[in-house]
A = this chain, B = another copy of it.
Amino acid sequence: MAETDFERIFHPRRMAIVGVSSEGGYGFANGMLLACRAMGFAGEILPVNPKGGSFAGQTIFRSLEEIPGDIDFAVIAVPAPAVPEALEACRRKGAAGAEVLTAGFGETGTPEGRGLEQEIREIAARGIRVVGPNCFGIYCPASGLTLLPGPDLSREPGPVAFLSQSGGMSIDLAHLGGWMGLRFSKVISFGNGADLREAELLRYLTDDPETGVIAMYVEGVADGGDFFQAIREAARRKPVVVLKGGLSEAGGRAVVGHTASMGGSRAIWSGVLRQVNAARVESLEELAQACLAFSYLPARVFRGISAVGGGGALGAAASDAAEAYGIRVPEFSADLRTRIEAILPQPGSSAANPIDVANPFVPPALLGRVLRLAAEDGRVDLQVLISLLYHYKSQARAMGVGVADITPHAELAETVATAAADSGKPVVMVLPDLKRGPEDLDLAEMMARAREEFTGRGIPVFGAIGEALRAIGHVSAYYGRRLLGEES
């Protein structure tokens, strides 16, 4: 079998969408055509349906054979029994691959479903690679391929790859990551994984120069030994973050019906992931946060941090969380402490590390000076700055102005980014979003823009102290164990 041409799969110039209906509606094929167009997909889109007609201004080919010339890739969204024939036609048209969105295969547990999935596997073996069936497809920001139902994902590429057996998890991470500042190389929802699945895709992403971090949502693996080899090699070269679904009895039941997977026990998964040095996460949110840290922070161990916030409990919370993830908050020397104290508001501040700057309204320039001073401690490898921007709303109200008029988030982002660059010590922001009622949409807008100010300058932003430290802990633990592995 010829080597897979992943380039033609992820950056197709000519893509058939099989199942587009001239009667409109919101079927998968029509939805995918509109979504790819909304995304500005640069290639040619070739809709196919035996009934012909047209949709959204495009003539629908009655068959794949009718399309002049070869195709690179196809989206297949016809009823399950018609999938094998459509896939075979794509293969004959020279497609390097196809994604099958349709459900109703192995996951049904019926002989018919299993038989149809076996047919897909046999056609694939003859020379077309298949993503799916029962999946949401491929999101590739560089080419404009998108997931169901994603007309509005970012076109900005980045280092995060995501392999997901669940379509829902793939589109959820694409959306969640979008506003968090995650940027993706490829997101691949592979559903039942009749052909392409975890081990082979891991190997592809391990070699993919566009991918710096590999995240996975796994329900079950086809070949444990092969997966072990693939993930071990991947984690030797890049951070790998794994969310395993279906570890409980009921969760295992769910994944059988979802993607026809066998779950595996919690103890086995926990052991394997530790052994191969993959970061194990417990939720999609934690996965996104870990990817944010891996893609924004330098590739290194963070032995110690400074924690800076306006309010004493913030520093205590950051210190407690840091220790829980094996990171120290070293006490500053008397000299450094005195120099920091000299610039902080009094009373109510503290400069021992954690640093309590006393209130949430300390000007950005002063915070920048605090960060520069704290960076002088050689035991500080990273700084965490917690800012309760929501307090500006009460302030704005008292002054009779809008919250956007007085919150210095852009200035703060610029100051923080400069302090990080000048000191060579990264800064992680924590911007808790503590007011989110219908009467606080002005705050929602400000917080969203503040986040962009920071992420646009390469500063990762988390919504809670514990989440930030947990994510930093994943990065530090990964590089620490990798270092140990390289030494041994």
Chain A positions within 8 Å of B, measured between CB atoms, are 26, 31, 34, 80, 103-104, 107-108, 134, 149-152, 165-169, 172, 175-176, 178-179, 217, 219, 245-251, 253-255, 257-259, 282-285, 307, 310-317, 319-324, 328-331, 347-348, 350, 352-354, 356, 388, 390-391, 393-395, 397-398, 432, 434-438, 440-441, 444-445, 448-449, 452, 464-466
Contacts and interface: CB of A to CB of B under 8 A. Distances in A.
A484 B166 CA distance: 41
Q: How many copies does the complex hold?
A: 2
Nearest to A30: B398
| Contact residues of A: prevailing secondary structure | helix
8 contacts: A103-B347, A107-B347, A178-B437, A246-B316, A250-B315, A254-B312, A258-B312, A258-B316
B440 A179 contact: yes
Contacts of A465: 283
Contacts of A440: 179, 448
A388 B31 contact: no
A257 B312 contact: yes
Contacts of A307: 250
Nearest to A80: B347
A354 B169 CA distance: 16
Contacts of A347: 80, 103-104, 107-108
A81 to B, nearest CB: 12
A108 B166 CA distance: 54
Contacts of A434: 172, 175-176
A257 B151 contact: no
B254 A26 contact: no
Contacts of A217: 313
A437 B432 contact: no
Contacts of A395: 26, 149
A282 to B, nearest CB: 6
B168 A319 contact: no
B441 A445 contact: yes
A313 B329 CA distance: 38
Given A107-B347, A249-B329, A436-B448, 16 more contacts: A26-B398, A31-B398, A34-B398, A168-B310, A168-B311, A168-B312, A168-B314, A175-B435, A245-B317, A246-B319, A253-B352, A254-B312, A283-B465, A437-B452, A438-B449, A441-B441
What are the 4 A-B residue pairs with the smallest beta carbon separation, nearest first?
A258-B312, A168-B311, A250-B329, A248-B323
Contacts of A178: 435, 437
A79 to B, nearest CB: 10
A348 B109 CA distance: 12
Contacts of A134: 348
B438 A445 contact: yes
